[in-house]
Homo-oligomer: A and B are copies of this chain.
Amino acid sequence: MFSSRLYKTTAFISVSSCILYSYKDDIKKNFGNTWLNAAVTEPYSDFTKPYQPVWDDNWDKRELTLKEKQEGVAKPTATRHIILIRHGQYNLNGETDEKRFLTPLGREQAHLTALRLKELNLCVSTIYESTMTRAKETSSIIQKVLPDIEVKASDLLREGAPIPPVPSHPTWVPAPKEFHSDGPRIEAAFRKFVHRASPKQEKDSVEVFVCHANVIRYFVCRALQYPPEGWLRLGLRHCSITWLTVRPNGKVSLRCLGDSGHFPPDKLTFN
């Protein structure tokens, strides 16, 4: 009797598993990137293992809904160029944000980056700036070289601790409450500013964001759908240029990260 039940139980589990497995594509489709297709984005340390690729086409939730399609809403057609500038070198000893202003070298870096943006002749529509002193100063130096561009300040772009980095850093160890509060705020910044163009946008656009290393590195990992906890594996020099391109179909590419070739070697700094 027992073995009969065991047999039936085993059979039940086996059959259930087979049925579930045979529907795996549908399950994936309906339940998104969960367990079933998850093995795939692991570090590719074993080249002989099969892997399965992941890209969420609707990462920015801008794909047209069925209702919108029925209503004849047009698809986006414009490309967004998102240019992320880290602020210049600043006075690390300042106790408050107001006292953490740019060093003379930091101001020079901002000016050199402004000149580079100008010579690239990018037709910038908007400059977004973090509300922290070093970012506002950097932004105002850029605005002198690129005048008459709309400027928008945002608290969402302030520096912070996005999520605990992996691997961890030996000395940079923020309190858990910092990740707790900064994390969703920087994620909110990402969702607000990084997405494909609206269907109403007629021409390709170039927007400049003057902000911070952690914010930019987190944006890059999120936009490229790389593991976001890997943000600290990227380094950014002061006033370097990082360029994300978001196509109207939602595809994203990184044109450069931390581009700082426009500085003479003695003006290159990370800290």
Chain B residues with Cβ below 8 Å from A149 are: none
* Contact of A233 with B241 in the complex, beta carbons under 8 Å: no
**Given the complex of chains A and B, what is the CA–CA distance between A53 and B40 in angstroms?**
14
**Given the complex of chains A and B, what is the CA–CA distance between A235 and B251 in angstroms?**
13
User: A151 on the interface (CB 8 Å rule)?
Assistant: no
* Contact of A119 with B264 in the complex, beta carbons under 8 Å: yes
Chain B residues with Cβ below 8 Å from A96 are: none
* A interface, size bucket: 35 or more
**Copy number of this protein in the oligomer?**
2
Chain B residues with Cβ below 8 Å from A104 are: none
Q: Which of A174-182, A202-210, A223-231 contacts B (4 or more CB under 8 A)?
A: A223-231
Chain B residues with Cβ below 8 Å from A260 are: 256, 259, 261
Quick one: closest B residue to A33, CB to CB?
B42
**Given the complex of chains A and B, what is the CA–CA distance between A47 and B162 in angstroms?**
11
* Contact of A55 with B43 in the complex, beta carbons under 8 Å: yes
What are the nearest 7 A-B pairs in CB distance?
A: A261-B261, A53-B166, A38-B38, A261-B262, A43-B225, A257-B257, A256-B258
A-B contact pairs, 14 of them (CB 8 A): A8-B9, A9-B12, A34-B42, A38-B39, A43-B55, A43-B59, A47-B187, A51-B229, A116-B261, A224-B230, A225-B233, A226-B226, A256-B258, A256-B260
